Chain A
C-alpha cells in the first residue's frame, strides 16, 4: 500500500548528484579535519588494498609450485631480493594493522552503543599493532641479516621488475574483460541505475550478506593469516625456504627411508628448493587428511572473497558517477576472485612429485649457482644420501 503510494507520487525527487571528482574526493579526505576514525579508515582501506595486491601475486606464484616448478623457484628467488624483503615488512605491518582495526570495526558495528570508546579503541589498535610488530620485526630482521650476510646470489632489480610484467598484463586483461562484459550488460540491461536508494524497494539481501561476511570472515582470517605468517616469517624466514637440510615447519616425517630420487616425506628440505618445501607441507597427512592443504584452502577462500569484495566496495565508491564504470568495477572483482581462487584451488588439488622437486632443483641451481645448505649437526643426520649425491651432480652439470 505504502510502496504504491511512493510509486505514484511525484513527491520522491530523484535529483541526486555526486559532485566531487575522484581527485577532490581524495584531496578533501585529506583536508577535512575528522577525528582519528577518519585516519583509521584511510589506513584500513590502504592496508586492505595492499594486502590484496600482494595476495593476487602470491596465489598465482604459489600455484606454480604445482604447475611450473621451475617458475616457482624463480618466484621465490625474486622474493629473496631487497625490494621484496622491504615489501615483506610492509606487508606484515599491513596485515597486522588491518586485522586489529577490522576487529575494532566489527566489535563497534555489532555494539553501536559503544561509540564513545571508538577513539580510544582506534588508538589502542595503533598501540597493539606497534607492540606486536616490534618483536616480529626483530625476528624478521634476524633472518634478513643472516641471509644477506651470507653473500647470496641476488637477482638484479631489473629482472625482478621484468618478472612482474605478466601480472600487470594479466590484471589489465581482467579489467578489459570486465569492461567488455559491462558494455554488453549495458546493452541488455540499459545504462540507467536506480538514481537513489529506495524507490520501490525490497532491499538488497546480497549487500546484507556481504556486510556480515566481511566481519565474520575477518574474524576467521585472523588466526589463519597470523599462523601462516608466523610459519613464513617468524619461525623461519622466506630465506629458509631454500636452504638444504632445513626441517620443514608444521610437518613430521612420514617416511623413514627415502629411495633413490625421492625427496618428499621426510620433513626435511633435502634439495633446498621452495617446491620441496611446499611439497612436504601439502603432502603431509594427519589421519589421511592433508591438513595444510585444508588450512591453505580456508585461507585462500576466505581471504580471496573478503579481499575482492573489499575491492568492490572501494571501486564502486569511486565510480558512483558512471553505471558503466561501476559495472566494470564489479565484474573485475568477480573475475579476479574467480581466477585467483580457481588457480589457487587447482594448485591445492594438484600434486607435487619427486619429479617436480628435481626440476625445481635444476632451476634453482641455474638461478643462484649453488644451493645454500644448513650448517651444523642437524644437517648431517638430516640430509639423506641420495639427495646429497643429486645435489653434487647437478652442481657439476652447471
Chain B
C-alpha cells in the first residue's frame, strides 16, 4: 500500500523553519504490518535526512519513541501501519508529545519529566541490615503481585504527556512519576513509602489528577495508570498502604 505521512516539523537552527510546520511525505510499497517507526526511518533514509526523532531498541522496551500518532500518544515502534492509517490517502499524522519543550521535530526535552521522576525517590529504601545469609530480602508471592503492574513502566512519558492537567501545569508531578512511586510504595520491603506519600500529597502532587483517564489508554505497557494514581490517593487519605489494593483484581492475575 501507499501511505502519506503528515509530520510536525520544527528546527530552531534552520533559517525560516524556526516555527513549527506540517510536512507531508509519500511512501510506496508499505506493508500494512510495517511499524510506524520503520516507516519514519524510510522517510529519513530515502527522502529527508534531517527528520529527527528518538529511538533505540525498536521493540517497545527502551521507551524513547513516544509520539502523538493520529492525535494519541503511542510508541512508534509498537504501532502497525494498518492500525493507524486513515482516509483515502492512508494518512498517518505524527507530532511530538505535548507538554515538554520541543527540541527538534519529534524530539522533546525529557529533563522536566525525569525531574519529576526523581522527586518521588524511585529507588528501593530499606535501612535494615541485609539478611544474615547475605541474600535477597524475601517477600511472599502475594506481596509481590500487589505492585506487579507498575514494575512494567519503561518511562516513555506517553501517559504524562497525554494528561490535560500536565499540559496546563508542568509542575504537576504527572502520571508516570506516580506509577513509579506506586511500585515502591506498595512494596512490602520498602521503608520509604511514607516519605513518598508526603511528596505526592503536595499541591502539585496527586491532587492535580482530575480522574480524566487519558493516561490509561496511552500506556504502551497496558499499565492501569489511573488506577495506580487512585490507589496512591487512597493511601495518602488513609495514611496506610495495607488494604488499598484488592489482591483479587490485580492485573497480573487478569492477564493470566
Contacts of A318 in B (CB 8 A): 168-169
Check A19 against B237 for contact (C-beta < 8 Å): no
- Taken together as a complex, chains A and B put the C-alpha atoms of A37 and B165 apart, in Å, by 13
* Interface window among B24-32, B44-52, B129-137, B223-231: B223-231
Check A203 against B230 for contact (C-beta < 8 Å): no
Interface string of A7-44 (1 = CB under 8 A from B): 00001111111111010110011011111011011000
Check B98 against A28 for contact (C-beta < 8 Å): yes
- CB < 8 Å: which of A202, A207, A210, A320 contacts B169? A320
Besides the contacts A16-B116, A205-B201, what 6 more A-B pairs have beta carbons closer than 8 Å?
A: A13-B115, A15-B112, A16-B112, A16-B115, A18-B171, A38-B212
- Taken together as a complex, chains A and B put the C-alpha atoms of A343 and B124 apart, in Å, by 54
Minimal Cβ-Cβ distance residue in A for B95: A31
Check A115 against B227 for contact (C-beta < 8 Å): yes
Minimal Cβ-Cβ distance residue in A for B109: A17
Choose among A15, A17, A110, A205 the residue with the greatest number of B CB atoms under 10 Å from its CB. Answer: A17
Interface string of B191-233 (1 = CB under 8 A from A): 0100101111111110110111110110000001011111101
| 7 A-B residue pairings within 8 Å (CB atoms) | A18-B171, A24-B167, A34-B162, A112-B234, A197-B199, A197-B205, A198-B205
Contacts of A207 in B (CB 8 A): 201-203, 205, 207
Choose among A110, A118, A193, A196 the residue with the greatest number of B CB atoms under 10 Å from its CB. Answer: A196
* Interface window among B53-61, B65-73, B75-83: B65-73
B92 at the interface (CB under 8 A from A): no
- Taken together as a complex, chains A and B put the C-alpha atoms of A115 and B233 apart, in Å, by 14
- Taken together as a complex, chains A and B put the C-alpha atoms of A320 and B111 apart, in Å, by 18
Check A20 against B171 for contact (C-beta < 8 Å): no
Interface residues on A, range: 35 or more
Check B212 against A41 for contact (C-beta < 8 Å): yes
A317 at the interface (CB under 8 A from B): yes
B72 to chain A, nearest CB (A): 5
Minimal Cβ-Cβ distance residue in A for B113: A16
Check B171 against A32 for contact (C-beta < 8 Å): no
A106 to chain B, nearest CB (A): 9
- Taken together as a complex, chains A and B put the C-alpha atoms of A28 and B237 apart, in Å, by 32
- Taken together as a complex, chains A and B put the C-alpha atoms of A118 and B229 apart, in Å, by 15
Interface string of B231-242 (1 = CB under 8 A from A): 101101100000
Check B237 against A196 for contact (C-beta < 8 Å): no
Q: How many residues of B contact A (CB 8 A)?
A: 63
A136 at the interface (CB under 8 A from B): no
Contacts of A316 in B (CB 8 A): 169
Check B226 against A112 for contact (C-beta < 8 Å): yes
Check B212 against A16 for contact (C-beta < 8 Å): no
- Taken together as a complex, chains A and B put the C-alpha atoms of A2 and B120 apart, in Å, by 12
A212 at the interface (CB under 8 A from B): yes
A299 to chain B, nearest CB (A): 24
Check A196 against B207 for contact (C-beta < 8 Å): no
Minimal Cβ-Cβ distance residue in B for A113: B249
Contacts of A288 in B (CB 8 A): none
Check B207 against A17 for contact (C-beta < 8 Å): no
- Taken together as a complex, chains A and B put the C-alpha atoms of A18 and B169 apart, in Å, by 6
Contacts of A13 in B (CB 8 A): 111, 114-115, 118
Minimal Cβ-Cβ distance residue in A for B69: A33
Given contacts A14-B115, A19-B101, A113-B249, contact A212 B237 (CB under 8 A): yes
